[in-house]
Amino acid sequence: MNGDLRELYQEVILDHGRSPRNFRLIEHPTGFAHGHNPMCGDALTVFLIVGADGRIADVAFQGKGCAISVASASLMTEVVKGRSVADAERLFAAFQRMCTDDSFDPDTADGDDRDALERLQALEGVRAFPIRVKCATLAWHTLNAALAGESGATTE
C-alpha cells in the first residue's frame, strides 16, 4: 500500500468513518441543513443548537457517505461544539485551506484554532486526492448552511 493511501486512510479516519461520533438526530434544533454531493450521492443532515450566548451548545449529524465524508462530519462535530458561531466559521475557512493548500501551516492559527486544526489534520491527506476534497468539506458546507439558516448545501 502506498504512502498517499496510508495518509488518506489514517486510523483516525477509519475509526470515525466506522463509528462516527455525534451520529444522531437532535429533536429540537435551532438550525439544521441537508448536504448533498450530487457526484457521489453522499447525503447528510447537520443539526445544531446555538445557545443564547451565541455558542454551539450541541451539534450532530446523520446520513450516508464515504469514509472521508463521514469521518470529516464526525470530527467536525467534535471540534465545533462549544465554539461561537464566528469561531466555527473561521475554523471552516482554515480547514478548507488545509484541504487544498500545500503551504498551509496550522501553527500560524490562533491557539484555540490550532488545537482543532491539529485534530483535523487527519484529513489533510485529501490534498493528494483533489476529487475527494468535496467529501471532506461536505459536512462543513452543511454546517455553514445550518448556521446561516439555509436549508441545504451542495458541493458541485
Partner 1 sequence: MTLAAVSLADNRGRFDVERARADFPILKQRINGRPLVYLDNAASAQKPTLVLDAMRDVYETTYANVHRGVHTLSQRATVVFEAAREKVARFLNAGSADEIVFVRGATEAINLVAGSLGRRYLAAGDEVVISEMEHHANIVPWQLLREEKGIILRVVPIDDDGVLKLDAYRALLGPRTRLVSIAHVSNALGTVNPVAEIVREAHRAGAFVLIDGCQAVPHYPVDVRELGADFYALSSHKLYGPTSVGVLWGRGEVLAEMPPYQGGGEMIASVSFDKTTFKKPPHRFEAGTPAIAEAVGLGAAVDYLTGLGLAAVHAHEDALLAYATRRLGEVPGLRIIGTAPEKAAIVSFVMDGVHPHDIGTIVDQYGVAIRAGHHCAQPVMDRFGVAATARASFALYNTMAEVDALTEALAAVRELFPA
Least CB distance to partner 1 at residue 143 (A): 21
35 binds partner 1 (CB under 8 A): no
Nearer to partner 1, 7 or 89 (CB): 7
Torsion angle defined by CA atoms of residues 154, 104, 9 and 61, in that order, rounded to the nearest 10 degrees: -40
Least CB distance to partner 1 at residue 43 (A): 7
Nearest residue to 5 via CA among 95, 68, 88: 68
Contacts of 59-63 with C-beta under 8 Å, sequence gap 24+, read 59/22, 59/26, 59/143, 60/22, 60/23, 60/24, 60/25, 60/26, 61/20, 61/22, 61/23, 61/139, 61/142, 62/23, 62/24, 62/25, 63/35
Exactly one of 33, 49, 68, 94 binds partner 1 (CB under 8 A); which one? 68
40 binds partner 1 (CB under 8 A): yes
- The footprint of partner 1 on residues 83-112 (CB under 8 A) is none
Least CB distance to partner 1 at residue 9 (A): 5
19 binds partner 1 (CB under 8 A): no
Q: Judge contact between 12 and 67, C-beta under 8 A.
A: no
Number of residues that bind partner 1 (CB under 8 A): 22
- Chain residues in the site for partner 1 (CB under 8 A): 1-2, 4-5, 8-9, 14, 18, 39-43, 64-68, 129, 131-132, 135
